[in-house]
Every structure is written in C-alpha cells, then in structure tokens.
Amino acid sequence: MRASLYLISTLKETPSDAEVISHQLMLRAGLIRKLAAGLYSWMPLGLRVLRKVETIVREEMNRSGAQEVLMPAVQPAELWQESGRWEKYGAELLRVKDRHEREFCIGPTHEEVITDLMRNELRSYKSLPANFYQIQTKFRDERRPRFGVMRAREFIMKDAYSFHIDTASLDETYQVMHDTYHRIFTRIGLDFRAVQADSGSIGGSSSHEFHVLADSGEDLIAFSTSSAYAANIEMAEALPPVADTLPAVELSKVATPNQTSIDEVCAFLGIEANRTVKTLIVKAGKESPSPLIALVVRGDHTLNEIKAEKCLHVTSPLAMATDAEIHQHIGALPGSLGPVGLQIPVYVDRSAAALNQFTCGANENGFHLSGVNWARDCPRQVAVVDIRNVVEGDPSPDGQGQIQIKRGIEAGHIFKLGNKYSTAMNARVLDAQGKSVIMEMGCYGIGVSRVVAAAIEQNYDDKGIIWPTAIAPFTVAIATLNAHKSDAVREAAEHLYQQLLAKGVDVLLDDRNERPGVKFADLELMGIPHRLVVSERGLTEGTLEYKGRRDTDNQNIPAAQGLAFLLDKL
C-alpha cells in the first residue's frame, strides 16, 4: 500500500474523552472513530488489524475441527422466551419491534439461535460431536460503555457452540478449545493466562477465562507463586486461616464518637484493622424469613460479592440495605454495626470467624465493642463461610505457594454449558440405543475487537503503539526522504516495495511528500514493527537504514542486502 493513497489520519492531540491508553492511541493513530457512546467505526488502518486477528482466530478454529457459520444479528423474542432469558437478561438486551409489532432483539450472544438451528439439523449421535462458530457483530446495551472498543456496546466476537452426546465428549472438546485458545493468543503475540472463572449469567458448570495481562485490566486474577493455579478473584477460594494466637479477653464497650470507617476506628483506638470485623447488611430474597442478612468480614478484607450471592437467601445481584432499613431493624447506622446481638441471619467469613478477640460496632451509634469473642458473645448460630476476596500473600487454594494478584483484560471465555439450553429448547438426538437424549453443549467466546485494544494496552510506549507482528496493520514501512527531488530514492524505494510485495509482505510505502519528522512520528504512532528509510544520503553510501519499532538505535545496512536483511527479521 502506498501511503499517498491511504487514509492516514493521525492526531497530535489526545481526544479529551479517551481515558485508557489503547483508546487514546486508537483514536490518535486513526484506527477508529466514535459514532456514539459505545459505537465505533473502524477506519482502514484499524480494520487491517481487526482482520488479522479474525484470520488467526478463523485458522485456529478451523484447525480444531470447528465449522464456520453465520447467524442473524437480529433474533426473534420467541427464542429468548423459550430459553427464559427474555425476562432474565435485563436492560442489556436491546429489544426492538418490527413493522408488524413483533418483538426482536439485537443478539448479545447466540445460544438460542444455534440451539434452535441444530435441534433441527442434528438428529443422531453419529453427527456428534460438532462445533460451530461465527465471527459476528454483537450488541449489548452496556449501562456504561467505556474505554473505547474495550467495552463498547457494539463489538465483534467469535462465538462457538459445541454439541455432544454426553459430558465425556463435552470434556474432550472443552479441552480442545482450551488448547486452541492457547494457540490463538500465542500466535497473536500476547502475554495471557487462562484462569478459572465464574460462569456468570450464561450458566453452566465449568469455565475458564483467557486474560491478557495489563495494568489497566478491569479484572483481578489470583496466581500461585509456585504452581499453575490461576483464577479470577471472583472465584479464588480463601482457605481457612490458622488458629488465632491471641487468647480471649474481657469484653468492653468503648465510645467512638463520629468514628465510622474501619480506618477511623483503628486510628482512634490504636488497633490494627485485622483485629476488627466489619458488618455489611444486605437485602434478603423473598423466600427469606428475615428481610435483612448480615455479612461479616475482617476489617482489612473486602467482600466478594460473587461468593456472597451464593449464601442462602442473599439476593443475586447483591443489594446493600438502605440506611433506613438498617436503622429500622438494628437501631444503629452503618459505621457502628457488629454481629453481637443481631437478630438477623449472620454469615461470617472464615478469617473473621477465626479471631478470638476483635473490635466491632456495638449496634449503637457512636460505640464499639472491644475484646469480642465469637463463642462467648455471639452464642446465636452464625454460619462460617468464604465470602471475602483473597489478598496477596494468602495461601494458594491448591496448597502450593502464595497468592499474588495481577490485572487482566478478559479476551476469551470458555464454558461448559451442560444441558441448560438444550433442555429448555428440547434439543435432542438419538443415541446408539435409539433413545432420544438431550445434547450437552459448550460455548466458547473471543472478544475480537477487544483483543485489538488489549494488544495495545500491553504494547505501547510514549511514541505510540507497538504492534505484535502477527496483527500489525503493516509489517514493514518504507519511508522515503526527499523523494521529490531524487529519482534514485524513488526508484530504490519502489524496487524494494515491489520485492516485498512479491514476497507477500504487508508493506506500506510512505511516499507522502512530508518532512522526515512527520513520517517517523506517524509510523511510530501507528506501531509498524519494521521501518526502512531510503534517503539520498544513504544511497550515496550504498546503505538503507533499518529500525525496529522497539529498537533505540538505527542501523545502516548495505542497500543490496536490504531485502534479505528484512526477510530475515520477519
């Protein structure tokens, strides 16, 4: 491609509404432009990257034995009513009516459509297992789209759905997809980890997320320092702690005027947060005999909402009680709450429960209790559960090493769906005995457009993007200097350009009549991995100049060896 014929729309200034680096650089390098909140156009340069990611995904999915299909983005309400998700999915599902007032949605995912399609096509166990995928635009009406294409409303996703006669077959394909994802992210050139994950609203039994590691990631991942254990922090188990080394002491009530946060109370009383507990009051579900439920974690820990939602009668999603509700049932306000004497169900985190003496709110505004002992002071039955987030230094749940925590961007997610959708939608085949059985299903997603942003989050410097070669919009850029007044420069650059094209290299010939600084700045901002400079000065000495995007210095190479040198680099 010749830059003089190509839309290179770089910006010197950073658009003010771009928060994260990938969003800023995608705008500045001219990859995308915003149309509305969470809706982006892909410009030529950006689309080249997107297509390269798609190509790798497609090649590896095909290699795994999956078959590509393409399903409609618009889906009839009836299918979603059949699976029960028309009601459950909530406002994130964009619902529309056609001219006949029939209800549809813009697909945020395609379990219903594929299950409907395949319950009609798959009749026999002999057709199984089968895995179908598509690369398609999805729409989720995110409450708060942000970070550019990282969390857009409309985005491109590769989604795959597998069908099986039994769970053993599902397990096999699940492992194949696990391996395939590993190949895909490795080929793209990202630093990533597969981690155990919560299966969330899609449902199902087992699930792994593939995270691109980056400081700007929205998810926290817990790793073991000495084993392969890795899990989303939502899932990572906090093991029961070792027994408290301090003995029980006498209970006392202390005045703590206007000290409501753990930090304030600790500073006021001169104690450590790990000798306090905090009591969170949440709303209970309709079936619950008590309208409120207390959740207790140690003062230096934070509540894990995913874990808490699994406690009996706690609502999902978790809903904190209002101050008015708390005052009505307990007689004190948040900041002075504690488990002693509570008349509502109490769930206590393992670490909090292990304390022999601790400080907590007295359920009387402006007072705390010190020296509290569970057995002596909270004789009512309390349930000891795991409801906190793990922290760095906790023992790894697999018993090997300690936990360390990093941030990740969720780029892929694989689920064992089991028979959730096939049961709801009656997707059956005949087995070897001629008996009709419900199929087992798996589903496997990759956020293709998100991968583009994630790659930038992981690969940039103060000059701009640094693409992994496999997904760079162009692999090589040839920049001519002063070409307008040098036939030799034009000819040498053109010759090299043609040779690289003939070798199938994605090469950008920067033949624009721009000053050198402009070309260098643009090529660096756009993140092209390899740059060759053809100049009159160099040609006089018989050299070209090469610089890799991550290199700090240029190197001169003999002009005659330019092609071979470059091919060796690729």
Partner RNA sequence: CGGGGUAUAGCGCAGUCUGGUAGCGCGUCUGCUUUGGGAGCAGAAUGUCGGAGGUUCGAAUCCUUCUACCCCGACCA
Binding site for RNA (CB under 7 A): 10-17, 19, 28, 34, 36-38, 92, 138, 140, 142-147, 151, 155, 157, 200-202, 209, 218, 305, 317-318, 410, 412-413, 445-447, 450, 463, 481-482, 484-485, 513-518, 520-522, 524-525, 533, 535, 537-538, 545, 547, 554
Pick 397 or 412: Cβ nearer RNA = 412
User: In angstroms, rounded to a whole number, what is the distance separating the alpha carbons of residues 259 and 242?
Assistant: 30
Could you tell me which residues come within 8 angstroms of residue 397 by beta carbon, excluding any fewer than 6 positions away?
229, 231, 236, 237, 239
Cα–Cα nearest to 8, from 486, 510, 348: 510
DSSP 3-state of 359: strand
Pick 210 or 358: Cβ nearer RNA = 210
Pick 429 or 492: Cβ nearer RNA = 492
| Nearest distance from C-beta of residue 241 to RNA, angstroms | 25
Pick 18 or 362: Cβ nearer RNA = 18
| Nearest distance from C-beta of residue 508 to RNA, angstroms | 14
User: In angstroms, rounded to a whole number, what is the distance separating the alpha carbons of residues 432 and 444?
Assistant: 27
Pick 128 or 284: Cβ nearer RNA = 284
User: In angstroms, rounded to a whole number, what is the distance separating the alpha carbons of residues 380 and 375?
Assistant: 9
Pick 337 or 492: Cβ nearer RNA = 492
| Nearest distance from C-beta of residue 13 to RNA, angstroms | 4
Q: Residues 3, 5, 7, 9: is their CA dihedral positive or negative?
A: positive
Cα–Cα nearest to 371, from 355, 386, 347: 355
Neighbours of 497 (CB within 10 A): 22
User: In angstroms, rounded to a whole number, what is the distance separating the alpha carbons of residues 477 and 1?
Assistant: 10
Pick 364 or 536: Cβ nearer RNA = 536
| Nearest distance from C-beta of residue 19 to RNA, angstroms | 4
Residue 388 DSSP code: B
Cα–Cα nearest to 358, from 302, 299, 318: 299
Pairing status of strand 530-534 against strand 440-447: unpaired
Pick 420 or 450: Cβ nearer RNA = 450
| Nearest distance from C-beta of residue 266 to RNA, angstroms | 22
| Nearest distance from C-beta of residue 135 to RNA, angstroms | 12
User: In angstroms, rounded to a whole number, what is the distance separating the alpha carbons of residues 262 and 268?
Assistant: 10
Pick 227 or 561: Cβ nearer RNA = 561
| Nearest distance from C-beta of residue 41 to RNA, angstroms | 13
Tokens linked to 197: 């994950």
Residue 248 DSSP code: P
**β-strand partners of 437:** 429
Pick 3 or 563: Cβ nearer RNA = 3
On the question of a cis peptide bond just before residue 15, with omega within 30 degrees of 0, the verdict is: no
User: Is the separation of the CB atoms in 408 and 211 below 8 Å?
Assistant: yes
| Nearest distance from C-beta of residue 112 to RNA, angstroms | 15
Burial of 492 (0-12, 13-18, 19+ CB in 10 A): buried
| Nearest distance from C-beta of residue 179 to RNA, angstroms | 19
Cα–Cα nearest to 347, from 287, 266, 277, 396: 277
User: In angstroms, rounded to a whole number, what is the distance separating the alpha carbons of residues 478 and 510?
Assistant: 6
| Nearest distance from C-beta of residue 189 to RNA, angstroms | 19
User: Is the separation of the CB atoms in 344 and 293 below 8 Å?
Assistant: yes
Pick 121 or 461: Cβ nearer RNA = 461
**β-strand partners of 158:** 135, 446
Pick 363 or 389: Cβ nearer RNA = 389
Reported residue count of the chain is 570
Tokens linked to 492: 């040498």
DSSP 3-state of 99: coil
User: In angstroms, rounded to a whole number, what is the distance separating the alpha carbons of residues 332 and 362?
Assistant: 9
Cα–Cα nearest to 3, from 531, 511, 549: 511
Neighbours of 523 (CB within 10 A): 26
User: In angstroms, rounded to a whole number, what is the distance separating the alpha carbons of residues 193 and 150?
Assistant: 18
Per DSSP (E only), the strands in 328-422 are 346-349, 358-361, 367-372, 383-385, 403-418
Pick 203 or 299: Cβ nearer RNA = 203
**β-strand partners of 294:** 281, 346
Whose structure tokens read 């939602």? 309
Pick 32 or 157: Cβ nearer RNA = 157
Pick 81 or 513: Cβ nearer RNA = 513
Q: Is 349 left (phi over 0), alpha (psi -120 to 50) or beta?
A: beta
